[in-house]
Chain A
Amino acid sequence: MYTFSSKLKTLSYILMALGILGIGYGFYSAPKDIQEVEKLLAAESHGEHGGSKHEASASATHHGDAAIHTELAVDDKVEASHAEAPVGVDAADSIKEVQVLPLSDLTKGREKAHVMTAEEEHTEHLTHVLHQLQNKPWSAFYVACIFFMLISLGVLAFYAIQQVAQAGWSPVLFRVMQGITAYLPVGSVIFFLFLLLSGLHINHLFIWMDPEVVATDKLIANKAGYLNFPFWIVRAAIFLVGWNLYRYYSRKNCLAQDDANDNLFYKKNFKLSALFLVFFIVTESIMSWDWIMSIDPHWFSTLFGWYVLSSFLVSAVTTIALVTLYLKSKGALEHVNTSHIHDLAKFMFGFSVFWTYLWFCQYMLIWYANIPEEVTYYVTRIDVYNLPFFGAVVMNFVFPLLILINTDFKRISWVLVMAGVVILVGHYLDFFIMIMPGTVGDRWFIGISEIASILFFLGLFIFVVFTAMTKVPLLPKRNPFIEESKHFHY
């Protein structure tokens, strides 16, 4: 039996406490009304420009911050240039602005721009920035929340695959995987509560939930048959309950198999896992539309589900590898040798490349065809999120490719820990880039809110996972493949 070391437990408490403080600070420091935003923008404008003509009027403040003026739809380009001409914006500026299109305010802008005076437009802009800034702590929480929940879901899927594939190497790691999936119920509850809060309009991450937006936006209104709150939340409930049921029964059967005289529970688990994988691939796809793609309800991509899957699957395998290395270093996994680690590292490498493949397929197809309705997604990301967008490719592809291609390196703990940390941070960034542009647009920053949310969920994850590890022996007894797994060498 593994005992949760008191140091690690203390660390998890500290992480959670720091996280809660930081999350609270994030909500506390978000602006409450447009007056605060105005001051904020004025301060930024002075800092960046300082030109006297920009300070002449309130409107000047507004257009002086050209890079963040983002609410103009393509249709409104002409009107916009006219409206702003008196305060001295040249056409080139407007065009630049037009390229940055967070969808959340497109609709409102489009509705009113035709009759908008400079003053009204300024207020409009302030409201827009206010919404972005108010979304920021919520988005930071949401990204970390979904990231850690999907990691444990990915471990569950990987575990089910190992069961169904009758893998001979991995049974010694089954209890580690089950331990990591212990986070799933906890993560699901928090995540579901968050979705409920979104539905109650406590936050505004999903703009299609806003009846005003739906009323004025035909594109979203046409999707209302799918994107409506009751259907959406019921889907979420079914997915989360389904995954958790599999986790519960699979673990129960695995433990029952320890004390059984035959392989009945093993066979049950085999069938259950096969069913789960079918359920999983369908629900995973829909989940990615519901929880991530619907943040940008004007945009769609057909391979998005697989893309999300590849991202959290590689994070999941990396997490298994890191937890295994930790437990091994504490002497808790007697039968795990470097060959098991080597296999995990191969999966990390392979799934990293798989992620890159899907990332590039999605990017290149949209870039190549350059259809305006699809390409805005990447225009925002490249213009406003340049470093994290391409940084994620370096961290998730180039780095693991060069490190994990070497067979000898795949057996060295510190190399793997280093690669694993980079992969996990890279995939956090990946989720960050999927969600943030639609909610906070150019107001993104990896600051206190974001880091605190990560720390909170990391602490919770460590606490739940390692507590679960102490509950049962870390070696399954009567798994039909356990002997082979103990003597696995590659």
Chain B
Amino acid sequence: MKIGVLALQGAFIEHINHLKKLHCETVEVRKVEDLNNIDGIIIPGGESTTMSKLLKETGIMESIREKINQGLPVWGTCAGMIILAKENENHPIDGLKVMDIKVRRNAYGSQIDSFEEMVDIKEISQNPLSLVFIRAPYIYEHDSKVQILYKKDGKAVAAKQGNMFATAFHPELTDNLEFHRYFLSMC
């Protein structure tokens, strides 16, 4: 199996390292051609404004959108979740607009308000999982087609819709591989 990781900006190496630990072939996606022959794609954490701009200018935006609509499995973490959402608010950016969720950017405040917590998400793992939130967004509205996997204080922060998976937090910054294993099971 070969998984693409969007490598325009952000913490893409962390995703690649996790995938390699699961014996998965990876490719850093910087050009439209890099999308050929991949079985899934991860849109990593970073700055969604920066990624949005580079996605548009390189033409990767349309190519990824087309592939996702044709069923390519995709996982967005944090900035990646903002890119996937149909709508985003609080300084909105142009994204793929493929997933039926509406997200609020920087929903918890500035860096000083970033946090980490241990939770149970049965869909992902039988063991407690560490969730790292960094200037994180949350989902404030979603379609009934969207399956919510976890809510924090009543706000959805992990969701799945068909071939699309989104988390407001960063599993790639922990040692745990469960989320990556879960995504590979979708591919």
A binds B: no
Interface set of A (CB-CB < 8 Å, partner B): none
Interface set of B (CB-CB < 8 Å, partner A): none
